Amino acid sequence: MKVKLCGVKRPEDIWYMNEFQPDYVGFVFAGTKRRITPQTAAKLAEKLDRNIQKVGVFVNEQPETVAMVAKMVGLQAIQLHGNETEEEIAYLRTRLPGCSVWKAVRVQDERSLSAALRLSADFLLLDSFSDSSYGGTGKIANLAVIQKANIARPYFLAGGLNSDNIRTIAASLHPYGVDISSGIETDGVKDRKKIETIMRIIRNIL
Q: How many domains, in total, are found in the chain?
A: 1
Question: What end-to-end distance do the CA atoms of the chain give, in Å?
Answer: 15
Indicate the pLDDT class of residue 47, thresholds 50, 70 and 90. Answer: very high
Q: What is the pLDDT of residues 124-160, one digit of tens each?
A: 999 985 654 555 556 788 898 998 888 889 999 999 9
Boundaries of domain holding 71: 2-202
Q: Which of 21, 25, 2 is nearest to 176 (CA)?
A: 2
3-class DSSP assignment, residue 27 = strand
Q: What angle do CA 164, 195, 14 make, to 5 degrees?
A: 155
Query: In the predicted model, what is the mean pLDDT of the chain?
Result: 92
Confidence at residue 130, expressed as pLDDT on a 0 to 100 scale: 60
- Indicate which residues carry an active-site annotation: 6, 127
Q: Residue 175's domain is classified under what CATH number?
A: 3.20.20.70
Q: What is the pLDDT of residues 158-193, one digit of tens each?
A: 999 999 999 999 999 999 999 999 999 999 999 999
Q: What is the pLDDT of residues 56-108, one digit of tens each?
A: 999 999 999 999 999 999 999 999 999 999 999 999 999 999 999 999 998 88
Instruction: Report which of residues 106 and 5 the model is more confident about.
Output: 5
Give Rg (Cα) of the chain.
16
Please report, to the nearest 10 degrees, the dihedral formed by the alpha carbons of residues 64, 59, 99, 122 taken in order.
Answer: -130
